Amino acid sequence: MNEKKKTINAAVIGYGGAFNMGKSHAEWMKAAGIDTIAACDLDPVRMEAAAKELPGIATYTDYKELLKNKDVDLCINILPHNLHGNVCVDCSNAGKHVVVEKPMCITVAEADAMIAAAKKNGKMLSVFHNRRWDSDFLTIKKTIDEGMIGEVFHIEASIGGYGHPGTWWRSFKNISGGALYDWGAHFLDWILNLVPSEVTGVTGFFKTGFWADVTNEDHTQAIIRFANGCMADLQVSSLNSAPKPKWRILGTKGSIVGDWGDSITVNVEHNGFMATIKRNNEPGDWAMYYKNVYEHLANGGELAVKPEESRRTIAIIEAAEKSSKSGNTETPAYR
């Protein structure tokens, strides 16, 4: 006889129109066996859309009313960045497991409060770093783990171009936290998963003021020093008129160059010569994030994205901004 599968009921908080992420999260959860039974957004129009897209769900315009729903096991917080911290703490205190969109929050103090609330209530807290299952990242990590390029000692990562940043949270620092909190959070999570060493220092270079109606930085750079001697240079920019590849990774036996295509280039030493290999990317699967969450909640499997890991990303961004202001290399509040 087949054992009955455990039911996990989820609620999406923040069903806003940006990328229609509420519906996307519901679909990824459905693929993992998690049922979406409720949604919340301040905008009643978005709740009308949710009711059509997810028939039968309960809808709310106040998340605190949603938290009274005893059938909800798991809350998905996809609100703007500045609302991640307090709302996640409220969800944990209401006895709910929590998944929060990246970035985890804006400050290390918020991250600490979120982790403390989850632990106090014996509930899961995880950050939606779905891009750990991107095809190019999986391929890069596999190539490094196989030892093809030897020991990694230098990483360059870059995203951006020359153009006005997007509107709303992509333009305003009080909502987003700053330019490095968007794609930078993905890149930092990737980098920390490629380099198994503690971060010892961060040097930041931030430029502001070119786009007159934007309070986010125009150009950001974080240079990260690791205890094992590796360094990483991350740039996120809207003033980059000469874009670099997404990835340039140097190892003692070769290198990796990756951009936004369906393959990476691997350069490896062979008999005194440097051979160039095109390696097709592994299949990606964002639903794997929620499959892991289901396995963790239903069967006690190890959580793939732990909150302490995501806290480190926030600590690095915070240190980069502090360094940009001080002119010194700063030690992140990293543990």
Give the mean pLDDT of 273-292.
95
Give the mean pLDDT of 62-70.
98
The H or E element spanning position 34 is strand 34-40
Is the pLDDT at 294 greater than 80? The verdict is yes
pLDDT tens digits along 201-259:
999 999 999 998 999 999 999 999 999 999 999 999 999 999 999 999 999 999 999 99
At residue 113, the pLDDT reads 98
The H or E element spanning position 117 is helix 108-121
* 278 within 8 A of 265, measured Cβ to Cβ: yes
pLDDT tens digits along 139-195:
999 999 999 999 999 999 999 999 999 877 789 999 999 999 999 999 999 999 999
At residue 3, the pLDDT reads 57
Is the pLDDT at 34 greater than 60? The verdict is yes
| CB-based burial label for 264 (10 Å; 0-12, 13-18, 19+) | buried
pTM for the complete prediction? 0.95
